[in-house]
Amino acid sequence: MVSKEVIVKSATGLHARPATLLVKKASSFKSDISIEFDGKKANVKSLIGVLSLGVTKNATIKITASGDDEALAVEEVTKLIDSLDE
């Protein structure tokens, strides 16, 4: 299992478009990937799950992956979150 914390810089947080991009990226990996925010956890491959967390701008979230490609999954998902609306 690999985990990494990242700060969401997107002006809208992880809502609508950013969340859709995140789910598409996460779905390309075999590993189980989850996101934690404010004591809640969701599957990153679920758009409803990601949106239900209500992640806002400047929030610190934790990305965790477990599986065959876990290290690459966390790295790529983190890169995507960093690149949103810089």
Structural domains in the chain, sorted by start: 2-83 (3.30.1340.10)
Determine the pLDDT at residue 70: 98
Res 2 pLDDT > 90: yes
Mean pLDDT across the chain, nearest whole number? 96
Structure tokens at 12: 């809208």
- Which residues lie below 8 Å from residue 60, measured CB to CB, with a gap of 6+? 5, 6, 7, 8
Predicted TM-score (pTM) of this structure: 0.93
How does pLDDT run across 47-62, given as a tens digit for each residue? 999 999 999 999 999 9
Query: Which residues form the catalytic set?
Result: 15
User: Looking at residue 37, what is its pLDDT?
Assistant: 98
